[in-house]
């Protein structure tokens, strides 16, 4: 189970008191709710197309939790290390770096792929092309389809 994922039976008081690494909350430490609000505003000001969604995806990645856990526990406080990771990711996205390059992965055709600046990001419309090719009679009738890369 990834670090920081909400565990059944874990005290809400302990989870809200600090970061996933058990560090105590310090005065002024930001909650998930506050981080999402400020992160969304930052990305919106930078002209990012989907500021709230991108903020959620980046914060979940920075905290090593599922996106659902952000909404289940908005009172959770970020540790200083988590806050630093979050800020670094947010700055990269505000600079218009593609989200998959920041997270290091993208889903394509139901599978996760690792990506980086030297790799093209698969586009959703390419999935339609793959489906069309796989449905083509020359491919469906072949014992082993031959693909030229």
Per-residue pLDDT of the chain in tens (149 residues, 90 and over written 9)? 344 443 434 334 334 444 444 444 444 589 999 999 999 999 999 999 999 999 999 999 999 999 999 999 999 999 999 999 999 999 999 999 999 999 999 999 889 999 998 888 988 888 898 888 888 777 666 667 676 66
Q: Which residue has the tokens 């790799």?
A: 119
Strand partners, 108: 111
User: Which DSSP symbol is given to 6?
Assistant: -
Homologous superfamily (CATH) for 12-103 = Ubiquitin-associated (UBA) domain (1.10.8.10)
Give whole-number Cα distances, 93 to 25, 42, 85, in Å: 27, 10, 13
**Where do the structural domains in the chain lie, given as residue ranges?**
12-103, 105-140
pTM (2 d.p.): 0.70
């Amino acid at each position: 189970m990834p670090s920081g994922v909400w565990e059944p039976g874990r005290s809400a008081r302990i989870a809200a008191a600090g970061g996933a690494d058990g560090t105590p909350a310090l005065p002024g430490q930001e909650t998930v709710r506050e981080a999402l609000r400020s992160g969304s505003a930052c990305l919106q000001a930078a002209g990012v197309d989907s500021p709230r969604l991108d903020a959620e995806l980046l914060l979940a990645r920075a905290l090593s939790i599922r996106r659902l856990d952000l909404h289940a526990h908005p009172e959770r406080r970020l540790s200083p290390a988590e806050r630093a990771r979050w800020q670094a990711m947010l700055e990269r996205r505000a600079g218009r770096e593609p989200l998959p390059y920041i997270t290091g992965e993208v889903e394509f055709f139901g599978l996760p792929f690792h990506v980086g600046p030297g790799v093209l990001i698969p586009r959703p419309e390419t999935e339609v092309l793959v489906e069309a090719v796989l449905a083509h009679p020359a491919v469906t009738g072949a014992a082993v389809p031959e693909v030229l890369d």
